[in-house]
Every structure is written in C-alpha cells, then in structure tokens.
Amino acid sequence: AAGAPGAMQGGAAAPPSRRWWDDALRFAERCLDARRSALVESTHPDLIPTLLLLGRAHAKLKDRESAMARYGEALAVQRAALGDVHPDVADALLSLCRVQDDPADAVDSASEAVRILRSVFGDDHPRTVEALCRLGSAHSRRSAAPVGGGGAAAATRSRSEAISCYEEALALRRSALGEDPMGPACGDALYRMGMLHRAGEDYGRAAGCLEEVL
C-alpha cells in the first residue's frame, strides 16, 4: 500500500509517510484502550510497547508535548516493572530526551541513560557509546539555548560538555574499529565536534575536525 513502511522507491525503502503515522497513532490508541480495559494494573508491563509506539508516532507527527507524555508514561511503567537500572529504561530515557522541550531536561535524561548503560554494559559497549553521542547532542542543544541564565558562559560550558561527550565516543569507536578508524559513526562525531568548535570561534580545531572527515 502507498505510504507503507518499507515500500520501495527507486530501489530503496521509503520512510513511512505522515498518513502512515496517523494511522499507526489511531491504531495504537485503540490498542492502549483495549489493553487498559483488560488489565487490572495501570502499570502492567504489557502497556509498554504500545506507549512507546504512541510516543514515536507523536514525535514523527511533530507533536512533542504528546510524545513527551507517552514516553514519560512508558518510562514510569518500565521503572515500576524493571527497576531503575535496566537497558530498556535507558532506551526510554533516550527516546524521551529527543522530544523534551527544555534542553536541561534532555541533558538529565541522556545523562541518566549513559549512567545506566555504563553500569550494565561497560564504557565501550556500542549502546553506551551511542548514548554518549545522544548526551553530546543534548548538551549541544543546550549550548544554543542556555536555560536559567548564564548567557555566554553557560553556552560555553554546555558546548565544552558536548565536545567531551563526542571526544569520548570517538575514542571508543576508534578503539573498537581497530585498523579502520574512520567509519561513518566516527565521521559524524568529528563533524559535530567541528561545528561545536566553530560555534565557539575555535576555528583551528574546527578545521582540524572537518579535515579529518574529508
């Protein structure tokens, strides 16, 4: 069907259309109502997949407030079912941080996710490294719109935190890649670091990062 996920366009899988996400949203809402009617506990783990799907659908449809609400609800159910230190809780935190309006809240969510994944998998696990990049992105967003005053100083601190996250992620990825230290993920981290150095008017370091990408 048109708009179905995975439909081929020019030999490549096309992303789901807005109409597809609208349909997915309506279907998931009906599923959630049915499951809540059938379950005694309001925090039953069976609710989690549907809540996460709703959060993703709202995010795809650019409804950040509804996405935050659904991801937050899924996170609460996961904490109740799995405890605070579980990879699924970390994944929900990372999904939540993507849609949080307040950059400081996004930093808090991503920071907790990194702590959880370090505890469960260690520093050099791919999921930990990916979470570090997400934390870097949250710090970067905060540097562009510092909250709670501080102006240029707050922006500089957040930018420095973002660069530190990307530097650590880059070092871990290069260590894992061994003889091929320039995979796509490494290039992405270098590019983001270059843009952050440029925003801080450190043009020498910015050029160095971007030259490595090229």
What mean pLDDT do residues 47-67 have? 94
Q: In the predicted model, is pLDDT for residue 198 greater than 80?
A: yes
CATH label of the domain that carries residue 62 = 1.25.40
Indicate whether 28 belongs to any domain.
yes
Convert the pLDDT of each residue in 163-191 to its tens digit.
999 999 999 988 877 645 556 778 888 99
Residue 186 confidence (pLDDT): 82
Mean model confidence pLDDT for the chain: 87
DSSP letters, 19-65, are: HHHHHHHHHHHHHHHHHHHH-S-TT-GGGHHHHHHHHHHHHHTT-HH
Cα–Cα distance for residue pair 107/128, rounded to 1 Å = 15
DSSP 13: E
Residue 181 confidence (pLDDT): 56
Q: In the predicted model, is pLDDT for residue 25 greater than 80?
A: yes
Indicate whether 67 belongs to any domain.
yes
Indicate whether 162 belongs to any domain.
no
**Residue linked to tokens 């910015």:** 206
Amino acid at 124: D
Residue 149 confidence (pLDDT): 56
Residue 78 confidence (pLDDT): 95
Indicate whether 64 belongs to any domain.
yes
Indicate whether 130 belongs to any domain.
no
Angle, CA 124 vertex, CA 123 and CA 130 arms, to 5°: 90
Indicate whether 134 belongs to any domain.
no
Instruction: pLDDT band for 24, please (50, 70, 90 cuts).
Output: confident
Residue 17 confidence (pLDDT): 84
What phi, psi does 11 have (nearest 5°)? Answer: 85, -5
**Full-model pTM:** 0.82
Residue 53 confidence (pLDDT): 92
Residue 148 confidence (pLDDT): 57
Sequence-separated (6 or more) residues with CB below 8 Å from residue 121: 87, 127, 128
Q: In the predicted model, is pLDDT for residue 62 greater than 90?
A: yes
Indicate whether 40 belongs to any domain.
yes
Q: Which domain holds residue 63?
A: 17-83
Domain count, the chain: 1
Indicate whether 75 belongs to any domain.
yes
**Residue linked to tokens 């930093």:** 107
